[in-house]
Every structure is written in C-alpha cells, then in structure tokens.
Amino acid sequence: MLHYSENKIYDTIIIGGGQAGLSVAYFIKRTSSNYLILDDQSEPGGAWLHTWDSLNLFSPSQYSSLSGWQMPPCKKEYPTKYELLTYLAEYEKRYDFPVLRNTSVSQVSKSEEVFQVETNQGKFYCKSLVSATGTSKNPFIPAHPNANDFKGRQIHSVDYRNTNDLIGKKVIVVGGGNSGAQILAEVSKVASTKWVTLNEPIFLPEHIDGRHLFAAANDKYFNKQAEESGPKISLSNIVQVESVREGLKRGVFKDHRPFKAFYENGVIWNDDTKEPFDVIIWCTGFKANLSHLEKLDIIDNNRTETNYTRSVQQPGLWLVGYGNWTGFASATIFGVGKTAKHTAKEIVSFLETKKAE
C-alpha cells in the first residue's frame, strides 16, 4: 500500500495515471526527484477502462507500447482493450510507480511558488506539476436544434460497452473515425443502423495500419517531404482491423451527411424528411479535461498557451497527452513517450534552477 505525507512538498505531482501520466513518471523515476501520481480510478488503465468491450487498437503491439518496456506479443495482430489494460497494469507494477488511487483532484492553486492540489483525499503540495488528465472525462457532442425533444437514447462512445441493449433497435452512429467505424461494424450485426459522417470516410488499404499513419502524420507535422508513391494517408483515416474488414464485406458502411435537427422520435435530414430512431451513438471525440486548473486563471476554451508541454503563463506547470498542442501525437500511446521525455528533462532543469536560487 502506498504511504504518503499530506504535508510533504513533493518535487513533482502528476495528475492522472493513464498512459500520459505513466510516461512522464517513467522518465521522472530515473532522476532523484520525489514524486507522486494522483489517479481518480480504482485500478490501472486510465481512459482505456472506459472504452467498449470489443475495441481493437489499430497498431501492432510493438507500436502500442510505452517507453522502457514493449507490450508482449498479442494473440492477434492488433491488441484488444483487455490486452492493453493488462499491459498498462503490468507496466505500472514493473516500475513500482507511487500511484494514489481513487483520488479526484478538484482544483489547483499556487502560493509562494508551491502548488496546492486539493482532492477528495486531502491536500497535496509540490514544486512542479504535470496535468495528464486526458480527455475521456470531457466527451464532445455537437449541438443540434431540438436535441432535448428527442425521446430516444443518446450516448457517447465513452459510455458504449456492447450491443446487449441494442438488439432490434434502430440506431444512428455519428462519427467517421476509427471508433465510429468499429462501433458501427458491431452494432449493425444486431440492429438497423445508419452511419452519419461529416465527410466521406476514407478506408485505408488492408496493409496500412497505425504505424504507417503515425509515420505519415509525423512527416507532415515536421514538414518533411512525403513520398510520391503510395496512398495519401491521415490519422483521420479508418484502419481495417478485423471488425471493419468484416463490416466492409457486409456492406454496412453506407455513409450519410449530418442531419440538421431532432424531433421527438428521431432526426430531421437536410431535405426536411423525418426518420425515427431509438438510439444515437456519438463517436464525435473529446475535449481536454482541464477544469481542475481553472483557479490558476490560465484556461480559455479548454486550452491554455503552451510551449511544447510547458505552460507559458504558469511556471512549474506542464500539460501532457492532450493532443498536438501539447506535443505531436501526445494523445496516443505511441506518440506520448517523446513528449514525456522532453517534459521530464524540463522539470529536472526547472527544479535545479529553483534549488540554486
């Protein structure tokens, strides 16, 4: 069991024990800093605990690993949700990170260069702070007229688990990314479905998966010259994991442009026709979960100004894992290691400077 001192001033506190928090902890652990991870979950896994049961990653295990220890080979080419959760739990255990579970951070303040972190377990203090709370607690659902009039069920992908209560229903899946495609492929086996996407979805050839996506996106991000040959690929393209390939064979991926409004029994399409539905599943992404930082007065529209991962407005604060504005591909398990390493180096330098003052 983790023992901690409530009155101790830690060198670093990391808020969030998911892939971003563990990545930073891996590099902080290799220094002389004393640190603590505060995590609001009861077990390891972070946001992956709140994904659907049949989820498959779209990169092989060697491209779905954190720094220091590669995920062991999986039963199939692409890891399942449960294989990833096992890996994250073993990773945390392997490095014996100091994680305080069931600890929800309500707010952060700062006085005399020391951060005060208020939680349901008491107050904690630190010289440097890493916010790695991710986005899963802040799902995004686009606004539509008369949404409250709809008498059916609306759920976000973060709350979808399986098809048990969808059998025989009429369902719209909204969202043209990998989550929307995988969920549609599954739901369409037991329900009547329609797929709503903002633009026409692009399915990658079978031989292209997440490793190619990250390489191509990396080249684009760093303005490298792309190869002339081969298909143009993007992180928004759909990878043909097993469930998607099977769905393509069944012809279920017939996309429709967004509806314009709700009515009590369903949706109204752009040609003013009405169509009844029982359930809407929103696979429309997430926004950064930064409510705990509001008292620092640096948050504007779910963002704060950063120089890579370092807060511009608040010395001693770093933000990791929220998307490209906190480091390229930092919201992915494959991409977060590079930004975590850079963050740890900056934290060490910051602490050394403060010590010398």
Spans of the chain, pLDDT less than 70: 1-6, 209-236
Close Cβ partners of 134 (under 8 Å, ≥ 6 residues apart): 16, 18, 20, 46, 47, 286, 288, 289, 321, 322, 331
pLDDT score, position 206: 83
Q: Containing H/E element for 193?
A: strand 192-196
| 57 burial type by CB count under 10 A (0-12 exposed, 13-18 middle, 19+ buried) | buried
CB 69 within 8 A of CB 44: no
pLDDT score, position 214: 63
Instruction: List phi, psi (to 5°) of 119.
Output: -135, 175
Q: List pLDDT tens digits, range 251-269.
A: 999 999 999 999 999 999 9
Close Cβ partners of 356 (under 8 Å, ≥ 6 residues apart): none
Distance CA 208, CA 248 (A): 16
| CATH number, domain 147-203+238-282 | 3.50.50.60
Distance CA 290, CA 302 (A): 6
Nearest by Cα to 181 from 230, 96, 246: 246
pLDDT score, position 222: 56
Neighbours of 274 (CB within 10 A): 14
CB 281 within 8 A of CB 171: yes
Superfamily covering domain 9-138+287-356: FAD/NAD(P)-binding domain (3.50.50.60)
Instruction: List phi, psi (to 5°) of 338.
Output: -65, -45
Distance CA 211, CA 62 (A): 9
Q: List pLDDT tens digits, range 192-229.
A: 999 999 999 989 888 776 666 666 555 655 555 444 44
Distance CA 69, CA 85 (A): 14
Distance CA 293, CA 332 (A): 22
Residue environment code for 131-141, b if the CB has 16+ CB neighbours within 10 A, otherwise e: bbbbbbbbbee
pLDDT score, position 332: 86
Sign of the C-alpha dihedral computed for residues 27, 28, 30 and 36 taken in this order: negative
The CATH 3.50.50.60 portion of the chain extends over 9-138+287-356, 147-203+238-282
Q: List pLDDT tens digits, range 131-152.
A: 999 999 999 999 999 999 999 9
